[in-house]
């Protein structure tokens, strides 16, 4: 007998049971298993589960770093202590300015802000340690090199994508991987009208973050690569639907491209443009 991990939410919907008891659950799972429709979840190898803790913990620390920076920003703004002329006030020169501006804060607020700044420095040092260990542990394997050829993807995002995707053959199509990564919106179609809503909640949030970060990098760098497909895709969608929808469109393209790249073991290639045939030539 082989133990199988069941997708609880999907199995509950497929069983269609209103009441909830252990007996009904066992009977429903047994019925799904006999029919061959039992929804199961892929269990990554132990090595994958161990290595995943590195990028996932780094993501936790990155969110903490953002919260601490926002706290300092809010405190300075509350007392109208603006720092102009610096694109990043948390750089080396910017921090010296922040420490100088702290002298203008009330005593208790200054004390609290100094402690937050100290905590920020600790978190940033921890992030640096995680990034250093990631470079040591993850040598550039064939899969990682393939994924890093995606636009906007470097070592950190490449490691997240490789570890979270795992065995790409578990996805039947590229659309399934894009849905798993949280890059496809909900679809409501009825009476010839189709409306696209927000993405689902039950997705791999780590992959969703990685593709969103890569899409944002594409957005920031598109002026340097105007002929890239992803740059033109962003501009085309952004003109009609705004920045957020354009980021989502680029993220979905990157997710679907990842599927084919890993299946074919090929680096990223620009999509071939199809020239429409005119009516006179048809």
pLDDT 10s digits, 1-20:
677 888 888 888 898 888 88
Tell me the two tokens of residue 89: 């006030």
Domain identity same for 206 and 168: yes
Cα-based angle 227, 233, 239 (whole degrees, multiple of 5): 110
Whole domain around residue 240: which residue ranges?
Answer: 142-186+202-264
Domain identity same for 169 and 231: yes
pLDDT of residue 278 exceeding 60? no
Mean pLDDT of the chain: 88
Domain identity same for 75 and 148: no
Domain identity same for 148 and 251: yes
Domain identity same for 36 and 81: no
Strands 185-190 and 193-199: antiparallel
At 201-218, the pLDDT tens digits run 788 999 999 999 999 999
Question: Considering the domain boundaries, does residue 224 fall inside one?
Answer: yes
Question: Considering the domain boundaries, does residue 254 fall inside one?
Answer: yes
Domain identity same for 132 and 146: no
Question: Considering the domain boundaries, does residue 124 fall inside one?
Answer: yes
Domain identity same for 253 and 167: yes
Tell me the two tokens of residue 133: 């260990």
Domain identity same for 73 and 102: yes
Domain identity same for 148 and 127: no
Question: Considering the domain boundaries, does residue 93 fall inside one?
Answer: yes
**How far is residue 107 CA from its own chain's centroid?**
41
Question: Considering the domain boundaries, does residue 278 fall inside one?
Answer: no
Question: Considering the domain boundaries, does residue 272 fall inside one?
Answer: no
Domain identity same for 150 and 242: yes
At 124-145, the pLDDT tens digits run 999 999 999 998 888 778 889 9
Going by the DSSP 8-state scheme, the letter that residue 189 receives in this structure is: E
Query: What does the pLDDT average to over 63-84?
Result: 89
**Residue 178: CB atoms within 10 Å:** 24
Tell me the two tokens of residue 123: 């978190």
Question: Considering the domain boundaries, does residue 9 fall inside one?
Answer: yes
Least confident of 22-31, 195-204, 243-252: 195-204
Task: Work out the pLDDT band at 274, boundaries 50, 70, 90.
Answer: low
Q: Looking at the 3D structure of the chain, how many domains does it have?
A: 3
Entry pTM: 0.83
The residues, ordered by sequence, that sit 6+ positions from 190 with a Cβ below 8 Å of its Cβ are none
Domain identity same for 111 and 79: yes
Angle at which helices 205-221 and 243-264 cross, to 10°: 110
The residues, ordered by sequence, that sit 6+ positions from 130 with a Cβ below 8 Å of its Cβ are 54, 57, 58, 61
Q: What is the structure's pLDDT at 40?
A: 87
d(CA 155, CA 161): 10
Question: Considering the domain boundaries, does residue 195 fall inside one?
Answer: no
Percent of the chain with pLDDT over 70: 95
Cα-based angle 241, 245, 246 (whole degrees, multiple of 5): 90
Query: In this predicted model, which residue has the larger pLDDT, 254 or 272?
Result: 254
Domain identity same for 149 and 221: yes
């Amino acid at each position: 007998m082989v133990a199988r991990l069941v997708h609880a939410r999907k199995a509950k919907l497929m069983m269609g049971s209103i009441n909830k008891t252990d007996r009904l659950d066992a009977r429903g799972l047994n019925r799904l298993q006999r029919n061959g429709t039992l929804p199961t979840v892929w269990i990554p190898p132990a090595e994958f589960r161990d290595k995943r803790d590195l990028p996932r913990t780094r993501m936790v620390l990155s969110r903490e770093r953002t919260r601490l920076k926002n706290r300092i920003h809010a405190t300075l703004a509350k007392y109208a202590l603006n720092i102009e002329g610096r694109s990043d006030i948390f750089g080396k020169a910017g921090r010296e300015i922040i420490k100088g501006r702290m002298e203008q804060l009330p005593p208790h607020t200054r004390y609290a802000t100094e402690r937050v700044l100290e905590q920020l420095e600790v978190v940033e040092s921890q992030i640096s340690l995680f990034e250093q260990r990631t470079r040591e542990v993850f040598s550039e394997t064939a899969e990682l090199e393939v994924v890093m050829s995606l636009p906007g993807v470097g070592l950190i995002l490449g490691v997240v994508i490789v570890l979270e995707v795992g065995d790409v053959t578990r996805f039947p199509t590229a659309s399934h991987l894009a849905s798993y990564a949280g890059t496809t919106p909900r679809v409501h179609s009825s009476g010839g009208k189709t409306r696209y809503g927000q993405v689902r909640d039950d997705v791999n949030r780590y992959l969703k973050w990685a593709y969103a970060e890569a899409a944002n990098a594409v957005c920031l760098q598109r002026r340097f690569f105007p002929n890239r497909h992803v740059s033109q895709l962003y501009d085309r969608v952004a003109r009609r639907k705004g920045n957020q929808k354009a980021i989502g469109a680029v993220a979905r393209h990157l997710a679907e491209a990842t599927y084919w790249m890993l299946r074919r073991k090929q680096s990223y290639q620009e999509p071939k443009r199809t020239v429409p045939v005119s009516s006179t030539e048809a």
